[in-house]
Structure 1
Amino acid sequence: MASPRFALTTPVLLLMALATGLCVGANYLNQPLLDTIATTLGTSHSAAAFTVTVAQVSYALGLLFLVPLGDMLDKRRLAVGLMILAAAGQVVSGFAPNIGVLTAGIAVTGLFSVAAQVLVPFAAALAAPERSGRAVGLVMSGLLLGILSARSIAGVLAEVGGWTIVYRAGAVALIVVAVALWRTLPSSRPTTSAGYAATLRSLSTLVRTHRRLRTRALLGAMSFGSIAVLFSTMTFLLAGEPYGFGDAQIGLVGLAGVAGALAANLSGRAADRGHTQLTTGVSLAVLVASWAALAAGAHSLAWFLIGFVAVDLAVQGVHITNQNVVYALEPAARARINSVYMTVYFIGGASGSALGTLAWTTRGWSGACTAGVALAVAAAGMWTLDLRAERRVAADRSPTTGVSVRS
């Protein structure tokens, strides 16, 4: 835990939000540039789109093997070190002469940009218990704004100076914010004295012990997989007929998802008030419905934008409520619980990206929409299992102490 004398003020939360936005946003810089990358490097659309999957898989590996260190080490030192390494990956991408080197740079950045997932539970730990949801929601709002800004800025910068300048500028920004975090955040004490191997083994114990960690992680994976289908294919739709958009225009379309960032903060506040399941249910209903609008977006930009806003709102509403649930399961193991949750979450994203690419290759936009709505419906089905798990947890509470035996 951090020093008790440290006050988690709004400016500090905003700095943490900026840092997480830059880290996670680094994995989305290529998305509005896929058509240009394919053309410039003389490769196929599928090879360029594969870099989206690589970013997600690398991020998942970092979540599994690096984020648990947050319970073992000083979180400030860990987060800043990971950010510097992520910046190194962006430098490699910014000077890549071919698709192979670019893919390697994206993999490095993805692996170490999990600094974001060290900072999110760190914010929850620094906040007072009754304000934990708000703290997580505020940091996540900034994170989402960073992702959306990354897409838009990437498109604009690529139009001005080529796609490589996007990664070079990203590396500089990461280093500057890492230094600011080092000077602002407090040191933290480890919450476990176990070694690295034992800490990794404890992840499986957490999965076995907490039913709702299992259901909420799978729910998050399916919902994120649904939006990942959109992210891995929308560039090709907007670059082709009937739109013919350039990189800057595609990037600016991403700004429509700002509403999703606002939902993150609202969802966190709703969770603090005890409306977690209601928020999840409404978000999932919106997620399923959003794909109807996106399907109509094949020939209507207005419907595409409506669907884009809706799907982003929905996924972020699910994600924030998921985090509120899992962080409360075992506060001393927040980093490890976050590792489990986010690893499964990004495996879902990587699977959705791969499925979206396959669907686009075989059936175009209609195939992508079919894949996206199928994952959304699967997420809704998983929510019904989480409702059952919640009831079982309540039934398992000790009649004498009121403490949950299994959660």
Structure 2
Amino acid sequence: MAEENMHDVHDDGARRSAPDAATPPGGPIPEGWAADRTEAGIGRGLLLLMSVAAGLSVAGNYFAQPLLDTIGDDLGIGSSLTALVVTVAQVGYGLGLVLLVPLGDLVERRRLAVGLTAATALFLTVTATADGGALLLLGTALTGFVSVAAQIVVAYAATLAAPHERGRTVGTVMSGLVLGILLARTAAGLLADLGGWRTVYWVNAALMALLAVLLWICLPALRPTTDLRYPALLRSTAALLRQESVVRRRSAIGALTFGSFSVLWTSMAFLLSGAEYGWSDSAIGLLGLAGAAGSLAAGVSGRLADRGLAPRVSRIGTLLLLLSWGPLAAAGGGGGWGVAALLVGVLVLDLAVQGVHISNQNLVYAVRPEARNRLNSAYMTSYFVGGAVGSALTSAVWAAGGWPATCAAGAALAAGALCLAAPRAAGGRPHEPRPSGEATRRG
């Protein structure tokens, strides 16, 4: 069970006596309040707010994807440099995961979440005022760095949730995050047609400023779960990845899965704006509505994780991810059949990616409840490094072989994820803890 993995990482500073202790804002901690809160779970209104916050926090990292040609033409930069906008966003996000997310175990989480949300609003305005490639990349990188507020909120929700509903709660917040990623493209395309590509960044900045206020008012304060100093905290995060086999394996699966996802969405604008399709920015953005069905997989996967089925969901998901590249490859010729194949491929790919991701997160969270932010940092850093590599790979592959080569690269990454998620040929499936309820109750 989960205890078999817990001896691997020793955190002498961890306050293990109250790993999920939460305090209401504006007052001292009432006796027994934290335990009652954990059993009662998280209210629907607060869960909705946290889902919206997670979605809007990450949306700014994806606005550029359907607008790459438009941004490049407006700023006078080439397609190779413009494609780096996506890569820079992922790299910035990855650095935030390494340097900022572990702080959720060290500092009061409400202040951290609100501060990062407000900073996201500020840096979105930098991108909105960019007059060249350098400022565009700087604003994008800084926005990605602080938008890890979304991951603070996910771990926040997991801590507030009742143990037997942790998978469902994480799935719900992640549904909001997924919708933010996918609908960002739709909103970007529509707003770009209305007021230019900068409009979506201004709108998102205003919404993030409003969210910072609402989160400060509505979120309960949470005690830190460790008193380690910051350098030791980062070393502890690295130790979790090194010593916990479940975290390593799930991180590798996540990296390959999100790499495959990034290959598709980084190259999509180039395909659809080309001669085969000739779509406008808004039409390209609307394709995100097809992918939004992936948010359904987040909720379903969370509920299945509460029943101990997360490893099975991840195996099925990686298989579907690989199969999705068949219709996507067929979509390269354009025309009516091309559009139909594209829609099928996008739908299956997004459902698969989100199903695997939520399953991975629930398995990782079950390892060490008192180190949840550090576990999330280790996993999500690997996840977004995979995404950044996928985006960067797309630039080179597209230039070398166009859409067919791009599909081959995406399928290769999916095949790697499937190999890691499948049961081992000798000795059966490696041990993984039961997610959510069982392991957390023992924590």
TM-score by length of 1: 0.95
The answer to whether the 8 Å contact 2:264/2:410 transfers is yes
2:410 aligns with 372
Alpha-carbon separation, structure 2, partners of 1:386 and 1:324? 21
| 1:246 corresponds to 2:280 | yes
2:22 aligns with 2
The answer to whether the 8 Å contact 2:315/2:422 transfers is no
Instruction: Pick from 334, 351, 355 the counterpart of residue 393 of structure 2.
Output: 355
The answer to whether the 8 Å contact 2:254/2:383 transfers is yes
The answer to whether the 8 Å contact 2:110/2:221 transfers is yes
Residue 74 of structure 1 aligns to which amino acid in structure 2? E
The answer to whether the 8 Å contact 1:77/1:182 transfers is yes
Shifted more, 164-173 versus 332-341: the winner is 164-173
2:28 aligns with none
Alpha-carbon separation, structure 2, partners of 1:280 and 1:28? 25
The answer to whether the 8 Å contact 1:216/1:386 transfers is no
> What are the equivalent positions in structure 2 for 1:102-251 lying under 5 Å apart?
102-251=136-285
2:347 aligns with 309
1:292 aligns with 326
Alpha-carbon separation, structure 2, partners of 1:385 and 1:163? 46
The answer to whether the 8 Å contact 2:246/2:364 transfers is yes
Instruction: Pick from 346, 361, 369 the counterpart of residue 323 of structure 1.
Output: 361
Alpha-carbon separation, structure 1, partners of 2:101 and 2:223? 15
TM-score by length of 2: 0.87
The Cα of 1:393 is off from its aligned counterpart by 3.8
Q: 5+ residue gaps in structure 1?
A: 396-402
Alpha-carbon separation, structure 1, partners of 2:428 and 2:362? 14
CA distances 1:269-322 after superposition (whole Å, capped 9, x unpaired): 011111112111111111000000100111201100110111100000000000
| 1:58 corresponds to 2:92 | yes
The Cα of 1:209 is off from its aligned counterpart by 2.3
Alpha-carbon separation, structure 2, partners of 1:245 and 1:394? 45
Tell me the C-alpha RMSD between the 2 structures: 1.8
Instruction: Pick from 33, 50, 55 the counterpart of residue 16 of structure 1.
Output: 50
> What are the equivalent positions in structure 2 for 1:29-44 lying under 5 Å apart?
29-44=63-78
Alpha-carbon separation, structure 2, partners of 1:127 and 1:284? 28
Indicate the percent of aligned positions where both proteins have the same amino acid: 49
- Secondary structure of the 1:297 match is helix
Q: 5+ residue gaps in structure 2?
A: 1-20, 24-33, 434-438
Alpha-carbon separation, structure 2, partners of 1:154 and 1:347? 24
The answer to whether the 8 Å contact 1:117/1:338 transfers is yes
> Compared with structure 1, are the counterparts of its residues 32 and 386 closer, same or farther at alpha carbon in structure 2 (3 Å cutoff)?
farther
Alpha-carbon separation, structure 2, partners of 1:267 and 1:54? 30
The Cα of 1:242 is off from its aligned counterpart by 1.7
- Secondary structure of the 2:131 match is coil
1:278 aligns with 312
> Compared with structure 1, are the counterparts of its residues 217 and 386 closer, same or farther at alpha carbon in structure 2 (3 Å cutoff)?
farther
Report runs of 4+ in structure 1 exceeding 6 Å deviation. Answer: 385-390
The answer to whether the 8 Å contact 2:68/2:269 transfers is yes
> Compared with structure 1, are the counterparts of its residues 380 and 391 closer, same or farther at alpha carbon in structure 2 (3 Å cutoff)?
closer
- Secondary structure of the 1:96 match is coil
The answer to whether the 8 Å contact 1:229/1:357 transfers is no
The answer to whether the 8 Å contact 1:158/1:248 transfers is yes
Alpha-carbon separation, structure 2, partners of 1:78 and 1:238? 40
Residue 386 of structure 2 aligns to which amino acid in structure 1? G
The answer to whether the 8 Å contact 1:215/1:386 transfers is no
> Compared with structure 1, are the counterparts of its residues 357 and 394 closer, same or farther at alpha carbon in structure 2 (3 Å cutoff)?
closer
The Cα of 1:392 is off from its aligned counterpart by 4.8
Alpha-carbon separation, structure 1, partners of 2:427 and 2:159? 25
The Cα of 1:388 is off from its aligned counterpart by 7.8
The Cα of 1:384 is off from its aligned counterpart by 3.3
Alpha-carbon separation, structure 2, partners of 1:386 and 1:224? 22
Alpha-carbon separation, structure 2, partners of 1:392 and 1:244? 48
Alpha-carbon separation, structure 1, partners of 2:432 and 2:261? 32
Larger helix share, 1 or 2: 1
Instruction: Pick from 340, 362, 371 the counterpart of residue 333 of structure 1.
Output: 371
